[in-house]
């Protein structure tokens, strides 16, 4: 009779452990820390072109404003430099806007994936 009670206690203990392990397995997975972006992470296929590489040399003013030819050349060089700079600035702005659009699309897609995941596991209902 004593062994029968022991067997019953062992059986109850095993059932309790099994129920406990099922409840632990059904619990939400532990929250993971947000990933830290790598400082050098980039999606650019190559290094972005530096302004100095794209722009003409800086204009150098002539020694004297009295030198008409040198002053005219300086004015033309400044005009060309400003136009080239504006072109570079416009292109860089367009590039940045495109990168931001793609980044925002990636964020939106990630949010949709997380929402679908939460809906699948009914995580919003548990809170």
107: closest CA among 32, 48, 37?
Answer: 37
Mean pLDDT, the chain, as a whole number?
A: 85
Q: Confirm whether 32 is domain-assigned.
A: no
Check whether 31 has a pLDDT greater than 80. no
114 occurs within a structural domain: yes
Q: What is the pTM of this model?
A: 0.60
pLDDT in tens, 60-98: 999 999 999 999 999 999 999 999 999 999 999 999 999
Residue 58 lies in a domain: yes
- How many structural domains compose the chain? 1
Whether 19 is covered by a domain: the verdict is no
Full domain range(s) for residue 77: 50-126
How is residue 98 written in tokens? 């495109």
Half-sphere exposure (CA, 13 Å, Cβ side) for 64? 3
15 assigned to some structural domain:
no
Q: Is residue 16 part of a domain?
A: no
| Strand, coil or helix: 57 | coil
The residue with greater pLDDT, 75 or 34, is 75
The pair of three-digit structure tokens given for residue 44, joined into one six-digit string:
């650019």
Residue 55 within any structural domain of the chain: yes
């Amino acid at each position: 009779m004593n062994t029968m009670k022991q067997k019953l206690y062992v059986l109850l203990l095993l059932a309790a452990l099994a129920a406990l392990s099922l409840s632990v397995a059904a619990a939400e997975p532990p929250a993971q820390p947000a990933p830290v972006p790598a400082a050098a992470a980039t999606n650019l296929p190559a290094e972005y072109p530096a302004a100095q590489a794209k722009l003409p040399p800086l204009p150098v003013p002539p020694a004297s404003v009295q030198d008409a030819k040198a002053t005219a050349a300086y004015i033309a060089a400044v005009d060309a430099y400003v136009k080239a700079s504006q072109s570079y600035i416009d292109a860089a702005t367009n590039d940045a806007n495109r990168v931001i659009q793609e980044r925002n699309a990636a964020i939106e897609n990630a949010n949709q994936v997380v929402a679908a995941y939460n809906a699948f596991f009914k995580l919003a209902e548990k809170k």
